[in-house]
């Protein structure tokens, strides 16, 4: 009984913080433009909503005021943990993030975030906590910004969206791990390296032009472990219809604006392709190339259509996947039902067998029905997941709730 109470205490504390009416400004957890509201307060419009202001207009507050944002994600999973093909058991996991930010000078800003989770089946304890973000920001102009510390590794759109700003419940490339944070002993997901807790310790030089129509990123990560070579990661993004300002990206805007964006990324780490057990094989170099596309069209009374896709090619003697791709289609209905709108979604992803001894093809299909109350800030999902990994067929049903405080 004490274990059950402990598991759920974190969720209720984070939920209370989300609703607490303090003077703290909510802005920095995702640094995303506000998605179009759903429900009675938002009738669909035939024309795209004007793009948000560039990132320079969304900087941290002046003086000693601190910005804060709180988010919670809770999931209930129907699946037998010992026989993943059977739907005869129920488990749950959750994540709560708290991120603070501020500035000490117009050009010098900071950000610190912390994450608490429960429900990792491979962990020695049922709950865990970790530093999520720890960034010192030197921001001279839109075209030149230097971030130092712990942050998302800029590699593809998903890495800069994180789980908070994607329409599916889980990030692409995850075939084995279902906990909010994959275990430290887990093999890296297929595709680009995202780091522990989907973060890396290092430095990123980034900038934007045209208010976010074109963005570039150049980073080096793994600097906290001097015994290994850095992971170098670079990305460019071109958004043709509307700008996407700021360091972070989104993979869904829910009709807030029309988007046609193309991105490409590259990664390299000398000796970065590691075997599952150090003694079984020698490390080799890790290299990765990826390209992604996002198209979103607000059709007004016809609803909102989203199409997204990505392909990533990886090289390394110990990689479980030689390539990874996914394709996604979703449709946000233009009719309010209750206090939200439904969004059916289908995502298909596949990873080709890599060179590692334990490598195999992997496939996953996510058939999801979302209920959007307020875009990324309040949504419910129910998703059926079919997975074929290591020659085994797996089935799961997930019910998820995401709550994220608003920017003010």
pLDDT of res. 308: 98
pLDDT of res. 228: 87
Q: What is the pLDDT of residues 362-389, one digit of tens each?
A: 999 999 999 999 999 999 999 999 999 8
DSSP-derived letter for residue 86 is: -
Is pLDDT larger for residue 274 or for residue 309?
Answer: 309
pLDDT of res. 81: 81
Q: Taking every pair of C-alpha atoms in the chain, what is the biggest distance, in angstroms?
A: 60
Average pLDDT over residues 169-197: 78
Q: What is the pLDDT of residues 295-317, one digit of tens each?
A: 999 999 999 999 999 999 999 99
Question: Is residue 127 predicted with pLDDT exceeding 70?
Answer: yes
Average pLDDT over residues 89-102: 92
Of the pLDDT bands very low, low, confident and very high (cuts 50, 70, 90), residue 271 is very high
pLDDT of res. 185: 57
DSSP characters for 224-274? T-TTSPPEEEEEEEEESSS---SS---S--TTSS-EEEEEEEEEEEEEEE-
- Residue 251 contacts residue 308 (beta carbons within 8 Å): yes
pLDDT of res. 181: 56
The torsion of the CA quartet 82, 83, 88, 94, rounded to 10 degrees, works out to: 60
Closest CA to 330 of 295, 348, 310, 305: 305
CA–CA distance, 301 with 172 (Å, rounded to integer): 31
DSSP characters for 111-175? EEEEEEEE--TTSSSSEEEEEEEEEEEEEEETTEEEEEEEE---SSHHHHHTGGG-SSSS-TT-S
| Structural domain count of the chain | 1
pLDDT of res. 150: 96
pLDDT of res. 53: 37
Q: Which helix (H) or strand (E) holds 321?
A: strand 321-332
Residues 208, 212, 215, 218, CA torsion sign: positive
Q: Residue 328: CB partners within 8 Å, gap ≥ 6?
A: 167, 168, 306, 307, 308, 309, 345, 346, 347, 348
Among the listed ranges 122-136, 238-252, 317-331, 350-364, which one has the minimum average pLDDT value? 122-136
- Residue 238 contacts residue 212 (beta carbons within 8 Å): no
CATH for 283: 2.40.160.10
Question: Is residue 240 predicted with pLDDT exceeding 60?
Answer: yes
Range of the domain at 323: 2-404
pLDDT of res. 307: 98
Average pLDDT over residues 266-279: 85
pLDDT of res. 256: 93
CA–CA distance, 72 with 389 (Å, rounded to integer): 29
pLDDT of res. 38: 57
DSSP-derived letter for residue 33 is: P
CA–CA distance, 379 with 376 (Å, rounded to integer): 6
Q: What is the pLDDT of residues 20-42, one digit of tens each?
A: 333 333 334 545 555 555 554 44
Question: Is residue 49 predicted with pLDDT exceeding 60?
Answer: no
pLDDT of res. 57: 33
- At residue 45, φ and ψ (nearest 5 deg) are -115, 140
CA–CA distance, 281 with 163 (Å, rounded to integer): 33
Is pLDDT larger for residue 232 or for residue 49?
Answer: 232
pLDDT of res. 184: 56
CA–CA distance, 212 with 243 (Å, rounded to integer): 5
Of how many residues is the chain composed? Answer: 408
Q: How far, in Å, are 27, 53, 85, 360 from residue 209 at the CA level? A: 22, 13, 49, 42
Residue 115 CA from chain centroid, whole number: 14
pLDDT of res. 351: 95
DSSP characters for 379-404? EEEEEEEEEEETTEEEEEEEEEEEEE
pLDDT of res. 18: 40
pLDDT of res. 39: 54
pLDDT of res. 33: 54
pLDDT of res. 64: 64
Question: Is residue 232 predicted with pLDDT exceeding 70?
Answer: yes
How many CA atoms lie less than 13 Å away from 55 in the CB half-sphere? 26
Question: Is residue 176 predicted with pLDDT exceeding 80?
Answer: no
DSSP-derived letter for residue 181 is: S
What is the percent of the chain with per-residue pLDDT over 70, rounded to a whole number? 79
pLDDT of res. 42: 45
- Residue 187 contacts residue 320 (beta carbons within 8 Å): yes
Is pLDDT larger for residue 186 or for residue 279?
Answer: 186
Q: Residue 258: CB partners within 8 Å, gap ≥ 6?
A: 48, 241, 242, 296, 297, 298
Question: Is residue 284 predicted with pLDDT exceeding 80?
Answer: yes
């Amino acid at each position: 009984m004490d274990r059950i109470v402990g598991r759920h205490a974190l969720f209720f504390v984070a939920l209370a913080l989300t609703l607490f009416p303090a003077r703290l400004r909510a802005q920095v957890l995702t640094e995303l433009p506000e998605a179009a509201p759903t429900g009675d307060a938002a009738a669909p419009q035939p024309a795209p909503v004007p793009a948000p202001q560039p990132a320079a207009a969304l900087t941290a507050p002046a003086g000693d005021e601190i910005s804060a944002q709180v988010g919670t994600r809770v999931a209930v999973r129907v699946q037998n943990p010992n026989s993943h093909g059977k739907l005869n058991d129920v488990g749950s996991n959750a994540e709560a993030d708290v991120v603070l930010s501020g500035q000490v000078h117009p050009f010098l800003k900071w950000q610190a975030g912390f994450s608490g989770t429960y429900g990792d089946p491979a962990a020695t304890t049922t709950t865990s906590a970790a530093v999520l973000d720890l960034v010192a920001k030197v921001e001279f102009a839109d075209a030149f910004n230097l971030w130092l510390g712990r942050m998302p590794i800029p590699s593809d759109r998903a890495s800069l969206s994180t789980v908070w700003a994607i329409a599916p419940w889980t990030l692409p490339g995850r075939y084995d791990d279902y906990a909010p944070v994959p275990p430290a002993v887990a093999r890296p997901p297929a595709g680009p390296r995202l780091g522990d807790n989907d973060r890396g310790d290092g430095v990123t030089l980034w900038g934007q032009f045209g208010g976010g129509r074109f963005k570039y990123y150049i980073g080096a990560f793994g600097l906290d472990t001097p015994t290994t070579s850095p992971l170098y990661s670079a990305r460019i993004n071109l958004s043709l219809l509307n700008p996407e300002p700021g360091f972070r990206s989104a993979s869904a805007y829910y009709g807030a604006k029309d988007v046609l964006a193309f991105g490409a990324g590259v990664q390299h780490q000398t000796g970065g392709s590691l075997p599952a057990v150090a003694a079984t094989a020698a490390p080799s170099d890790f290299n990765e190339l990826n390209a992604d596309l996002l198209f979103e069209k607000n059709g007004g009374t016809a609803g909102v259509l989203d199409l997204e896709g990505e392909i990533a090619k990886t090289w390394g003697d110990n990689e479980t996947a030689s390539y990874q791709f996914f394709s996604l289609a979703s449709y946000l209905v233009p009719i309010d039902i209750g206090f939200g709108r439904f969004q059916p979604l289908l995502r298909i992803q596949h990873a080709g067998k890599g060179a590692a001894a334990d490598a195999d093809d992997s496939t996953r299909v996510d058939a999801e029905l979302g209920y959007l109350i307020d875009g990324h800030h309040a949504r419910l999902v129910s998703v059926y997941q079919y997975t074929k990994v290591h020659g085994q067929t797996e089935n799961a049903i997930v019910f998820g709730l995401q709550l994220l405080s608003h920017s003010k």
